[in-house]
Chains A and B, each alone.
Chain A
Amino acid sequence: MKNKGDVWFKRITFLFASSIPFLLFILVFILLQKSLPAIVEFGPGFVFGTVWDPLADKFSALPFIYGTMISSLIALAIAVPLGMGCAIYLSEVSQSKFKEYIAVMVELLAAIPSVVYGLWGIFVLGPWLVKIIPGMTYGTCMLTGGVILAIMILPTITAISREVFQAVPYNLRESAMALGATKWECFKLAIFGPATSGIIGAIILGLGRALGETMAVTMVIGNRPKISASLFAPAYTLASVIANEFAEATSDLNLSALIELALILLVITILINGVARLLVWKTTLKYNPR
C-alpha cells in the first residue's frame, strides 16, 4: 500500500523539478521567436558576417563571437595556471595560518561587484598595462578585457580546485608519501588523477562566467565591432553589445539581431557546458567502472 503523503510528495517535487526544463524551453522559445526577423533576413550568413552597422540596418555576429571567445581564452590562459597554483598551495603545500588569510582574500575577490572591476580596469589596470607592455597604446582593448576577466574568474577556479583537491582521500596522499614522493610528486601521483574531472569542472565554470560577464568587460574592452588579430586593438563581446545597444536599438531589425546574439551566446554556453559534462562523465566512467 502506497502512502498518500508519499504520492503527493512525489507529485509536488516532480512539479518543481520539471519547472526547470520548462523554464529553459520557454527561454529558448522566446529568444527564437523574437530573433526570427533577423534569422529570416540574414540567414546563416549572420553568424559568419563581419559587418555590424545599425545605420545601414546591416547586422552580423562574428566580431562579437570572436571578441567573446578570445577575451575568455585570455582569461583562462591567465587564471587557470594562477588559480591551480593557488589551490595547490592552499590545499597541499602550506601548513601555516597565512593560508587562511589568502583563502579569505580569494573569496573576497568574488564578492567585488562587476562595475567596480570595470572602474579599476579603466583607471588602474589599463594605464598600467600600457606602461609595461611595449606596443600597447590604448588601455581599453581585448587584452585589458581578458585580464579583467582573468581576475574575476580566479576565485571560482581557485575555490573549486581547492575543494576538489581536498575531496581526494587522505590515504592516497599517505600512499604516495610512503613510496617516498615529495609534495609535488605526491600531487602528481595521488591527487591530480582523481581530481582531473573536478578541475575540468572548475575551468568550465570559470569559462562560463567569463563568457557571460558583461559590465566590467564592456567598460574596458573598447567596444568596437571589428575583428583584429592584435590583442591591443579594441574589441566587442556578445554580452557587451547586447547591454550597450538594447535600450537604443534604432530599428526592429536591430532589436531582433541583438536577440539573435543572445541566442548565440546561449548556444555557445550550452555547447561548452555539454562538452564539459561529457568530459567529466567520460573520466568518471573510466575510473569507476562499477
Chain B
Amino acid sequence: MDKLKIKTEKLNAWFYDKQVLFDIDMNVYENKVTAIIGPSGCGKSTFIRNFNRMHETVPGAKADGKIILDGKDIFNKKYDAVDLRRDVGMVFQKPTPFPTMTVYDNVAAGIKLYSRNSHSKLDEIVERSLRQAALWDEVRDVLNQPGMSLSGGQQQRLCIARALAIQPKVILLDEPCSALDPISTAKIEELIHELKKDYTIVMVTHNMQQAARVADYTAFFLLGEMVEFDITTKIFTNPSDKRTEDYITGRFG
C-alpha cells in the first residue's frame, strides 16, 4: 500500500465572500505523482496553493479545514510558512527565473536564504539540482549567462532546479507545461517521471492526456468540489461518477 504524505480534511477556501473550494478530502501519496484535473476556474490552483500556504498571501484569501503533512497540520499557527515552503516547493505556470540573475544564481537563490555554504558546496548543489532537472548538459557552459537567455522550456526546468535545490519533500507544479511547446513538454513529463523517485509530486494540468501519461493518482475537480479521486487508470477507464466520464470523454469543459 502506498504511504500517505499529505491528507486534506474538509478543506474550504474563499476569496473575500466567494467560496471556491468546498470540503475537499484528498490524499497524496509519497513518491507518487498526483494530478488535479478539471475545467478552468474550478479551483485547482487555489487547492494546491494551500499546500504551501501561498493562498493566504493573496488579499481577501481565507481557508479552513486541515492539511496534514507528515502528521502535522500545516494550518497550525505554530507551523511557520517559511519552514513549510522549504518542505513544499512550487513551480508556476509561466517560467519565472529571476530576471537579473545568472543561471547559477537562480538555482542558488533558495539555498542562500537558509545557509552559508562554501563555494565548492554551492557548486555541488547547483550541479546536482540542474542534473536532477535534466538541464545540466544544456547549461553547463552558460552558467554565468542570464537565466532569461534560455529557451522557455529550459527556463521552466531552471525553475524546477531552483525548487529542487532546497531539497523539498513535496513539489507542486501548477500547469508547468501550458506555456511550452510539445518537445519541451515531453521533456518535462519525462523529468517528472524521474523526480518521483525522490519527491512527492502534485501537479495541476488541464491537459487530460498529460495526467494519463504521468500521474499515478488523479483527482477531478468541478466548481470547487472534488468529484472523484482514484488511481489514474481507474479514472480514465472506468470512472464512478457520471460527471467525470463526461469530462474525460470531452462532453463538456
Q: Contact residues of A with B, CB < 8 Å? A: 95, 169, 171-172, 174-182, 185, 189-190, 193-194, 196, 283, 286-290
Cα-based distance from A196 to B82 in the complex (angstroms): 26
User: Chain A residues near B82 (CB, 8 Å)?
Assistant: 180-182
23 A-B Cβ contacts within 8 A?
A: A171-B96, A172-B98, A174-B96, A175-B159, A177-B85, A178-B85, A178-B163, A179-B85, A179-B109, A179-B110, A179-B163, A180-B83, A180-B86, A180-B110, A180-B114, A185-B113, A189-B109, A190-B98, A193-B101, A194-B98, A287-B100, A289-B148, A290-B149
* Contact A289 B149, beta carbon cutoff 8 Å: yes
Q: Enumerate chain A residues within 8 angstroms of B52, measured Cβ to Cβ.
A: 178
Q: Which of B85, B89, B92, B113 contacts A171 (CB 8 A)?
A: B92
When C-beta atoms are compared, the residue in chain A nearest to B162 turns out to be A179
Contact mask B93-111 → A, CB, 8 Å, 1/0? 0101011110000000110
Given contacts A185-B113, A287-B148, A289-B149, contact A178 B98 (CB under 8 A): no
Question: 11 other contacts beyond A171-B94, A178-B163, A287-B148, with CB at 8 A cut-off?
Answer: A171-B92, A172-B96, A174-B54, A174-B57, A175-B96, A178-B54, A180-B82, A180-B113, A194-B98, A287-B99, A288-B148
**Whole-angstrom CA separation of A179 from B164 in the bound complex:** 10
A95-B59, A172-B96, A190-B98 in contact; A178/B89 too (CB < 8 A)?
Answer: yes
The answer, yes or no, to whether B125 is at the interface (CB within 8 Å) is: no
Within 8 A of A (CB), among B63-121: 82-86, 89-90, 92, 94, 96, 98-101, 109-110, 113-114
B126 at the interface (CB under 8 A from A): no
A-B contact count (CB 8 A): 74
On B, residues with C-beta under 8 Å from A are 52, 54, 57, 59, 82-86, 89-90, 92, 94, 96, 98-101, 109-110, 113-114, 146, 148-149, 159, 162-163, 166
CA of A290 to CA of B86 in the docked complex: distance in angstroms? 33
Q: Do B90 and A178 have beta carbons less than 8 Å apart?
A: yes
Closest Cβ of chain A to B11, distance in Å, is 19
Least CB separation from A181: chain B residue: B113
Which one of A95, A180, A190, A193 has the highest number of Cβ atoms from chain B below 10 Å of its Cβ?
A: A180
B57, B84, B94, B99 interface centre (most CB from chain A within 10 Å): B99
Contact of A193 among B54, B57, B96, B99 (CB under 8 A): B99
Task: State the CA gap A255–B166 with chains docked (Å).
Answer: 69
Task: Sort A-B residue pairs by CB-CB distance and give the 10 closest, nearest first.
Answer: A193-B100, A180-B85, A179-B110, A178-B90, A175-B96, A180-B82, A180-B86, A171-B96, A287-B100, A194-B99
User: Which residues of chain A are within 8 angstroms of B96 by Cβ–Cβ distance?
Assistant: 169, 171-172, 174-175
Given known A180-B166, A189-B109, contact A175–B149 (CB-CB < 8 A): no
Task: Choose among B54, B99, B146, B163 the residue that contacts A177 (Cβ–Cβ < 8 A).
Answer: B54
A-chain residues with CB within 8 Å of residue B85 when the two chains form the complex? 177-180
User: Which residues of the partner chain A approach B163 to less than 8 Å between Cβ atoms?
Assistant: 178-179
CA distance A179 to B159 in the complex (A): 11
What is the distance, in angstroms, from A83's C-beta to the closest C-beta of chain B? 21
Nearest neighbor of B172 in chain A, beta-carbon distance: A178
Other-chain residue from A181, A182, A194 in contact with B100 (beta carbon distance below 8 A) = A194
**A286 with B146: CB separation less than 8 A:** yes
A196/B94 in contact, CB under 8 A = no
> CA–CA, A171 to B59, complex, Å?
15
Pick from A179, A181, A290 the residue with the most CB of B within 10 Å.
Answer: A179
Bound: A65/B13 CA distance, A: 63
The verdict on A196 contacting B100 (CB below 8 Å), with A174-B92, A175-B92, A288-B148 known, is yes
Residues of chain A lying within 8 A (CB to CB) of residue B149: 289-290
A residues less than 8 Å from B92 (CB atoms): 171, 174-175, 178
Once bound together, how far apart are the Cα atoms of A283 and B146, in whole Å? 12
Q: What CA separation (Å) do A169 and B110 show in the bound complex?
A: 19
CA distance A178 to B82 in the complex (A): 8
